[in-house]
Chain A
Amino acid sequence: MATTQEAKTGGSTLEGLRASSWSSRIAVAIIAALTVLLLVQAVREPGQFTSQLLIGLTNGAIIALIALGYTLVYGIIELINFAHGDNFMIGSFVGVTVLSGTFLGLGFFAPIDASSGAALKVFGVLFALVVAMVVCGLVNVGIERVAYKPLRNSPRLAVLITAIGMSFILQNVGLAWKDASQIPFPSLVSNANILAGVTDEVTFRWKDLFVLAVTVPLLVALSYFIRSTKQGKAMRAVAQDKEAAAMMGINVNRTISVAFLLGGILAGASGVMFGLFNGTTVFDVGLRQGLFAFTAAVLGGIGNLTGAVVGGILIGIIGSMTDQYIGVRWTDIVIFTVLILVLVFRPRGLLGDRSAVQGGGGE
């Protein structure tokens, strides 16, 4: 199936143009016009444009990391894990708890905050990231075992509702844990502009670099895992055909658990990163961020890992460009209009669904 799909989309461009409908030609024309308008702005105010592009990139990178969790799980068992956004929230709560050094009323070490030394800060950030990744990974695996596995052979709708239920449960766990108010994160990553000495027009802070420094290695590691390890191959096999994979001696249950573990690890990392980057977190942060991440996954093609990253970064950039050139109140409208347009013309998302996890991407 995947290969015929690839062959179709790979047809010659001229033929594609001739066969295209008027509506899709108009869509292409609109996109081209918008791109030209943006480029005009980029030439007129390069500093402003670059700043917004970088803001969009960092915001998008966080969304992309969450989107990967949605897409990984969907690629394997075709379930939208609605609890994923809330697992992300749990990740940020774990991060802030680790940095406070106090858990369940027991003080383990002095809080790591802005006044700590540089080495301690680096250690604190890494420690919080690792703990959150472990906790969220295990939470995700636990959720799968308790709530999804027993329903694996039930109608799709039953699992979907269970996922929504888990989302509410996690949200209320967060509410009970940290209350409804916004929780401040210690500012461990400097807000200073790296480019301060070079140019005044473009802002690129240590915080932005931090986001990229966490996201890129994770993406590379994930990509390596899926493409080159035995377990990764098993995941791709299970995604293609569960029964055939089982017949080949692949432990399907374990493979699905690994997918949830990976998704949870990414949620934990992005939760801590989100908190350190924005400075606050709140119990219902997963709802909004999860919605954007889910949108990003669909935009790029659900099940497609590259698609999730592209979708996330695209949403980040569309958001910042709309904030700059159209107006804040239009941002959500623009993002979801783009989503609808993409789905109308490319129902499988920008890069096509499920191809990467199934191994169809590069082959």
Chain B
Amino acid sequence: MKERRRVGMLAVLGVAAAFVVVGCGGGEQGSGGGGGETPTATVVSDLPLQGSSRPQNETIVNAITLALEERDYMAGDVQIEYTSQDNATAQAGQWDEARCSENAQSAAQDESIVGWIGPFNSGCAAVEIPILNQAGLAMVSPANTALGLTKEGGEPAEPEQYYPTGERNYTRVIVADDKQGRAGAVYMQDLGVQSVYILDDQETYGKGLADQFQQAAEDLGIEVLGRESIDGDAANYRSLMTQIAQTQPDAIYFGGITQNNAGQLVSDKVGVGMSNSDVLFVGPDGILEEEFLNAAGDAAEGIYITFGGLPASELPGAGQEFVSSYEERFPDSSIEAYTTYGYEAANVMLDAIERAYNADGEVTREGVVRELFATQDYSGTLGTWSFDADGDTTLTELSGNRVENGEFQFDRVIDVGGA
């Protein structure tokens, strides 16, 4: 593993060096404004375009392209240039910390860039936000759900550690994990669950979610029978599941991701005699992927999964319009869970650039950040919503999904706004 990583690192450095050279060359254009020419500004997206999350992220790039095409690459009077960056490496098969850092650093030095759409993974965001914060670059992520990126409740030093300047520059259009953890509890209450056993995979994402879930479950009067952290490398979980079966819970909540053996966990749960109809299993969007269904096989049938947003079919009118224009423009690509969020992120960013130019007479990073955070009662594909002071969306509707016939099926809308 280590040797693989080293080779990967060299490759990344090489590519990054190329990026920096190109970036410096392009930097001459400036951010425009004034004079008779059309002012120009560059928006970049930064997503993992290799490995298992490639299909999902390609649809996000498509959605951003669509948003730009619908505006003829103009944000008001500003000509927009768009660059799609890749923060994954082939060796890692997923996002790579070094790559995220290099991408952010080269963008920080390129003055023509005023907007950053991405990243996809919260771990990558943790690397990029501090770099781009010092550069004062406005960010909007379509997919990061880790609570600590914007609010307290994650690690002790979060979120301050990400904002060295003390000013916020990061926003996201997806609902964060505090609401998703809560959604798991609300979902269970809807399903008539009275007692629950909580598991997590010991990672920031999974443990954070399980913490939020536990708090919400206790608030809602669901009895918590126990809490355990699993070892993602274990061969099987039969002992653990046998022990959980003795506590006779109505449901099991798992905060974690597929890669930490979620499939094995579910098949052992069913294997020791806790069928998915007797003892419900609820998990987060970390297992909302095909790979989980492959690993869990038949045992996945009937489990419940929350998602920090709504599926395309449940979106309001504007959302449906997006779906049909996307399908028309990209007939070979089918809409994934985060596609709509990519479109929304692009539109919010472009609107902020337009407002910044109208107010200041030029496009500056400072102006874009100010206007991005000023997004109020924005009526888009996800409904009408605003950014709060932390850059989080005010939306409170999430979705509950169920595995039926080996596929994820939308089950119901979960509104956590009442709390």
Query: How many Å from the CB of B129 to the closest CB on chain A?
Result: 27
In the complex formed, the residue of B with least CB distance to A287 is B233
Say if the beta carbon of B203 comes within 8 Å of chain A. Answer: no
* Docked complex Cα distance between A48 and B245 (Å): 10
Partner of B298, one of A182, A187, A277: A187
B interface residues, tally (CB under 8 Å) = 34
Chain A residues positioned under 8 Å from B238 (CB to CB)? 55, 59, 320
Q: Is A100 an interface residue, CB under 8 A from the partner?
A: no
Confirm or deny: B190 has a beta carbon within 8 angstroms of a beta carbon on chain A: no
Q: Mark B229-253, 1 if CB is under 8 A from A, else 0.
A: 1110111111110110010000000
A168 CB–B CB distance under 8 Å: yes
Q: How far is the CA of A48 from the CA of B248 in the complex (A)?
A: 13
How far does the alpha carbon of A332 sit from the alpha carbon of B235 in the complex, in Å?
A: 12
Do the beta carbons of B235 and A203 come within 8 Å of each other?
no
User: Please, which residues of chain B bring their CB within 8 A of the CB of A181?
Assistant: 52, 291, 294-295
In whole angstroms, how far apart are the Cα atoms of A172 and B246 in the complex? 41
Q: Nearest-CB distance from A91 to chain B (Å)?
A: 14
- A65–B294 Cα distance when bound, in Å, is 28
Q: Cβ of A48 and Cβ of B246 under 8 Å apart?
A: yes
What is the CA–CA distance of A343 and B295 in the complex, to the nearest angstrom?
38
Indicate if B361 sits at the interface (CB-CB under 8 A).
no
Contact A288 B267 (CB under 8 A): no
A182, A289, A319, A323: the one contacting B294 at CB < 8 Å is: A182
**A48–B242 CB distance below 8 A:** yes
From B229, B235, B242, B271, A324 is in contact (CB under 8 Å) with B242
Partner of B4, one of A55, A172, A289, A329: A172
Residue of A nearest to B235 (CB): A278
B273 within 8 A of partner (CB)? yes
* B258 (CB) vs chain A CBs: closest residue: A182
Q: Given A182-B291, A279-B267, are A51 and B297 neighbors across the interface (CB < 8 Å)?
A: no
Residues B239 and A278 in contact, CB atoms below 8 Å apart:
no
- Report how many A-B pairs have Cβ atoms within 8 Å: 91
Contact of B264 with A280 in the complex, beta carbons under 8 Å: yes
Q: How far is the CB of A350 from chain B (nearest CB, A)?
A: 23
Q: Among residues 2 to 54 in chain B, which have CB atoms less than 8 Å away from a CB atom of chain A?
A: 3-4, 52
Which residue of B1, B228, B239, B295 contacts A55 across the interface (Cβ within 8 Å)?
B239
B208 within 8 A of A: no
The reply on B272 being an interface residue by CB < 8 A is yes
B-side contacts of A187, CB under 8 Å: 297-298
Min CB distance, B33 to chain A, in Å?
A: 47
Identify which of B202, B261, B271, B295 contacts A191 (C-beta below 8 A). Answer: B271
- Cβ of A46 < 8 Å from any Cβ of B? no
Within 8 A of B (CB), among A156-200: 168, 171-172, 179-182, 184, 187, 191, 193
Separation of A75 and B357 alpha carbons in the complex (Å)? 77
Collect the chain B residues with CB atoms within 8 Å of residue A52's CB.
239, 242-243
Counting CB contacts under 8 A, is A117 at the interface?
Answer: no
User: Min CB distance, A189 to chain B, in Å?
Assistant: 12
Q: Do A328 and B231 have beta carbons less than 8 Å apart?
A: yes
Residue of B whose beta carbon sits closest to that of A292: B235
0/1 per residue, A271-282, Cβ < 8 Å to B?
000100111100
**Distance (Å) between the CB of B166 and the closest chain A CB?**
37
Tell me, in angstroms, the Cα distance from A276 to B4 when the chains sit together: 30
Most chain B CB atoms below 10 A, which of A56, A114, A279: A279
Q: Mark out the residues of chain B between 242 and 290 whose CB falls within 8 Å of any chain A CB in the assembled complex.
A: 242-243, 246, 258, 261, 263-264, 267, 271-273
Do A280 and B295 have beta carbons less than 8 Å apart? yes
Which residues of chain B are within 8 angstroms of A277 by Cβ–Cβ distance? 236
A327: Cβ under 8 A from any B Cβ: yes
Decide if B263 touches A280 in the complex (CB within 8 Å): yes
Residues on the A chain within 8 Å of B258, using CB:
182
Query: Which residues of the other chain, A, contact B235 by a CB distance below 8 angstroms?
Result: 59, 62, 274, 278, 285, 288-289
Q: Does chain A have a CB within 8 A of B93?
A: yes
Say whether A331 faces chain B, with CB atoms less than 8 Å apart: yes
- CB-CB < 8 A to A193: which residues of B? 273
Asked whether, in the complex, the Cβ of B295 is within 8 Å of the Cβ of A278, the reply is: no
Residue of A nearest to B232 (CB): A288
Q: How far is the CA of A55 from the CA of B258 in the complex (A)?
A: 24
- Minimal Cβ-Cβ distance residue in B for A208: B238
Q: Is there contact, CB below 8 Å, between A278 and B236?
A: yes
A332/B231 in contact, CB under 8 A: yes
The distance in angstroms between the C-alpha atoms of A132 and B295, with both chains bound, is 22
Q: How far is the CB of B268 from chain A (nearest CB, A)?
A: 8
19 more CB-based (< 8 A) A-B contacts, given A62-B235, A331-B231: A52-B239, A55-B238, A56-B239, A114-B298, A171-B1, A184-B263, A184-B294, A184-B297, A203-B272, A203-B273, A280-B264, A284-B233, A285-B235, A287-B233, A288-B233, A324-B239, A328-B229, A329-B228, A329-B231
Binding site for B on A (CB under 8 A): 48, 51-52, 55-56, 59, 62, 114, 168, 171-172, 179-182, 184, 187, 191, 193, 203, 205, 274, 277-280, 284-285, 287-289, 319-320, 323-324, 327-329, 331-332
Between A and B, 14 residue pairs with Cβ closer than 8 Å are A52-B239, A55-B239, A171-B1, A172-B4, A181-B295, A182-B294, A184-B263, A203-B272, A278-B264, A284-B1, A288-B235, A324-B239, A328-B239, A331-B234
Q: Which residues on B are within 8 Å of A, measured CB to CB?
A: 1, 3-4, 52, 93, 202, 228-231, 233-240, 242-243, 246, 258, 261, 263-264, 267, 271-273, 291, 294-295, 297-298
